[in-house]
Structure 1
Amino acid sequence: MKWNRLEINFWLVAGLFALASACSQQDEGVNLNPNAGPSFEDIENDQYWVKLAAVPAPAGVNGIWRIYNGEEGVLENPTDPQSKFSGEPGESYLLGWEMSSGQEVKVDEISVSFKALNPQMLHEQQDTTHHNFSVHLEAEAPKYGAEGYWEIIEGEGGRIENEKEALASFIGEPQKAYTLRWNLTYGSKKVYQDWSFVTDELQAQAGPDQLDIKTSRGADPKFFTLEGFLPAGAQAKWEIIEGEGGRVVTDDNPNSLFSGKADENYKLKFDVMLEGHQSADTVQLRFRGKWGVWEDPRDAQTYRFTELNGLEWMAENYNYAAYPGDSSFYYGFAHRSVIYEENGEPHGYPVETEEDRKKFGRLYRYETVWSQAPEGWRLPTNEEWQELVNSLGGGPYAKASMVEGGASGLDLIYAGELNFNSGQDPAHRNVFMNLERGTYYWTADYNPYSGATNLIQVLKSEAEIGFGAVPFFYFAYPVRYVRDIQP
């Protein structure tokens, strides 16, 4: 069959129209609408990476990840919409998920950022190094693939041991200035923290005195962990210089276990040696048995106390110098005073030695024992004294337990008294009486109208503890304070 020209032209135009129509339909079916998924901000994990979450490209469309901004970023598989992306700490990146078809390209962008390295020194940063010239260095350990190391930036004669560890030791020389640096590195990143300080001379530190170490009740020995400080690179040695029955389990360990007996006073010497230098310090230790020990912060005097009938009672007469010579007195020392004589024999003697003054304590005016009571302590009431006597068996049983050497540990002593303007003296002078013969202890009970105050009477000649009352403004007596049992 032969086609004429008109028919050929018709079919040619029809074919071209069909082809154009098909191409137009295909173009209308392509949808370049890229979705890069969520951004990732301040990421911190091992090797600093994220898994991207773009929506895959449709069939016939190309998709690819591109890094537009940021240093040292790596795409594991750029054409994978969920490719792994790795970066570096402290860096921010701009990524794009591109879709293309022919000459047409569209992109959706996300941001990815990683937390910066943050070097942190954890040891105490001060202008001296624990009164020493060496330092136990401590930094926050590197993590997430980072590495760390110490270095000396300024200063001579120093060295660092274990410089690539977060826990390291610096040993310098006395009285010199140094600057140390803790570095963190990852990939191309390096950050650091500096510390400048001046070293001191070597000074041993045995730890604070522990005069009332509480342990579980029971038989000796008692145990305590020593609190010596060992400078970096140094050696130490413990030695017991006072006290019986004590033992340092490991004498070259600054934090050795120490064992001892209750109510025994121990004094330990702590020697420290470093780079040819040596220093020593001492510490006092005491385990609570029958007595605890309390220290008065006003003058650093210590007092034994014992737990009785639900209270802590001072087991020694108070000795704080409250207005001495006017409101508190040592026996035998007061203006215009004498020591009473009976049948030609004086009642005791002036209390002059430090040992006797600590033993007998001071005699106080009544208003002074109220105003000068140490913080946390108070005068016991007359009722509390009576209940204590009853709890210890009453009568002579209680007295034997309450006086010095008795089972209760209260250790009441015959500290005497001071009578003002006394009728016992023809000239009405101030009279000291009864040292080592008896005494009276103030209570919290008094009558503000009559001035009468309840007293506890402890006389050597009497078999029992007595109770009475006197006008408080004529006398000075010793005092025993009480407080609630401390946790």
Structure 2
Amino acid sequence: MAELFNDMDEKELFEKRKKQGVTDIDGNTYKTVIIGTQEWIAENLNVEHYRNGDIIPQVQDQNEWAYLKTGAWCYYDNDPENGKKYGKLYNWYAVNDPRGLAPEGWHIPNNDEWNELIKALGGEDVASGKLKSKECWKGPISEFQNMSGFSALPAGALARIGRFISLFETCYFWSISQGLDKMRDAYYLSLSNDKPESKLYCFNKKTFFSCRCVKD
């Protein structure tokens, strides 16, 4: 099901629309949501093959994480149970692989597309709560929580040093946009349980974050 968020009238939170969602190459079907003029996948990616059928390697060894410059994924804490709730974490090399991480007709957003989403929800000072799921976050739930239907979960990350961080506290979503140091850095959107704002930051491409997709 896709849901429509009407930013023009804050009192009308949702208008349900009948859609089948989108299915990736592995057969995972995701809900979608329309926010402003964009349609987004409303769940974290959980795919382990590129769009052409090539496998994306799962990496579980700390010594491999630090040196990878090719696409890979992992579960938080290397625990498949976390994958059932939070999906997979990917490094930026998987995000940028020309074989395609997103389902057909979809793509990983760039900075402009993330900023358009934030603007549609009232700007970076208020969009965070409207994007966050009502589940799994530490701390109180605001009246605006998940108002958009985007259902962002605090899936944490695998830091470049090989340590898992921020489960229940922060979600990190990759952007396809690269930083000034294109050999090293790329952008991501961060939503935190202790900060009201939603902002784009730049960090090392070897880090493993969650992924969302926007329709072409």
Q: TM-score, normalised to structure 2's length?
A: 0.72
1:312 aligned to 39, 50, 75, which one?
39
1:482 equivalent in alignment to 2:214: yes
| 1:433 counterpart residue number | 165
1:409 matched to 2:141? The reply is no
Q: Displacement, 1:213?
A: 9.2
Residue type at the aligned position of 2:214 = V
What secondary structure does 1:456 align onto? strand
| C-alpha deviation, 1:449, in angstroms | 3.6
* C-alpha distance in 1 between matches for 2:183 and 2:95: 19
The equivalent residue for 2:10 is none
2:91 corresponds in structure 1 to: 365
Distance 2:2 2:118 in 1: 28
Q: Secondary structure at the match of 1:401?
A: helix
Give the aligned CA root-mean-square deviation in angstroms.
Answer: 2.4
Q: Unaligned 5+ residue runs, structure 2?
A: 4-14, 49-55, 61-71, 135-145
Deviation at 1:307, TM superposition (A): 1.1
The equivalent residue for 1:324 is 58
Between the aligned partners of 2:80 and 2:176, the Cα distance in structure 1 is 29
Are 1:393 and 2:126 counterparts?
no
Change (3 A) 1:462 1:370: same
CA displacement at 1:359 relative to structure 2: 2.2
Matched to 2:158, the amino acid is L
Q: Deviations over 1:210-269 (max 9, x none)?
A: xx599xxxxxxxxxxxxxxxxxxxxxxxxxxxxxxxxxxxxxxxxxxxxxxx97xxxxxx
Residue 12 of structure 2 is matched in structure 1 by none
- The answer to whether structure 1 residue 295 and structure 2 residue 30 are counterparts is no
Asked whether the equivalents of residues 58 and 74 of structure 2 are also in contact (C-alpha less than 8 Å), the reply is: yes
Residues 1:451 and 2:180 aligned together: no
Deviation at 1:292, TM superposition (A): 5.2
Residue pair 2:172, 2:210 contacting (<8 A) in 1 also: yes
Kindly state the Cα deviation for residue 373 of structure 1 after the two structures are TM-superposed.
2.6
What is the Cα deviation at residue 300 of structure 1? 1.2
What does the per-residue CA deviation read over 1:14-57, in whole Å, with 9 as the maximum and x for residues that have no partner? xxxxxxxxxxxxxxxxxxxxxxxxxxxxxxxxxxxxxxxxxxxx
Q: 1:433 to 1:385 in 2, by over 3 A?
A: same
Q: Which residue of 2 aligns with 1:468?
A: 201
Partners of 1:362 and 1:434 lie apart in 2 by 15
Name the aligned partner's letter for residue 407 of structure 1: M
1:418 corresponds to: 158
Alignment of 1:209-288 (within 5 A): 288=18
Residues 98-129 of structure 1 deviation map (CA, whole Å, 9 limit, x = unaligned): xxxxxxxxxxxxxxxxxxxxxxxxxxxxxxxx
1:477 is paired with a residue whose SS is coil
1:178-197 correspondence to structure 2 within 5 Å: none
Q: Residues 362 and 387 of structure 1: is their aligned pair in 2 closer, same or farther, counting only changes over 3 Å?
A: same
Alignment of 1:11-160 (within 5 A): none
Question: Structure 1: 5+ residue runs without aligned partners?
Answer: 1-211, 215-261, 264-286, 334-350, 423-429
Counterpart residue identity of residue 480, structure 1: R
Deviating beyond 4 angstroms after TM superposition, the runs of 4 or more aligned structure 1 residues are none
Secondary structure of 2:21's partner? Answer: strand
How many angstroms apart in 2 are the aligned matches of 1:213 and 1:401?
Answer: 16
Larger Rg: 1
Residue 352 of structure 1, CA deviation: 3.6
Whole-angstrom distance in 2 between the partners of 1:451 and 1:213: 36
**Whole-angstrom distance in 2 between the partners of 1:450 and 1:295:** 32
For these two proteins, the number of residue pairs brought into alignment is: 172
How far apart, CA to CA, are the structure 2 residues paired with 1:213 and 1:482? 13
What amino acid does structure 2 have at the position aligned with 1:328? Answer: W
Task: State the shift of 1:401 in Å.
Answer: 1.0
Q: Residues 139-164 of structure 1: CA distance to partner in whole angstroms, max 9, x if unpaired?
A: xxxxxxxxxxxxxxxxxxxxxxxxxx
Query: Relative to structure 1, is the Cα distance of residues 449 and 367 closer, same or farther in structure 2, using a 3 angstrom cutoff?
Result: same
Distance 1:309 1:472 in 2: 29
Alpha-carbon distance change, 213 to 361 in structure 1, aligned in 2, over 3 angstroms: closer
Work out the CA distance in 2 between the residues paired with 1:412 and 1:466. Answer: 14
| In 1: Cα distance, 2:214 partner to 2:2 partner | 20
Query: Does the CA contact (< 8 Å) of 1:316 and 1:359 recur in 2?
Result: no
- SS at the partner of 1:332? helix
- CA–CA separation in structure 2 for the residues paired with 1:416 and 1:213: 25
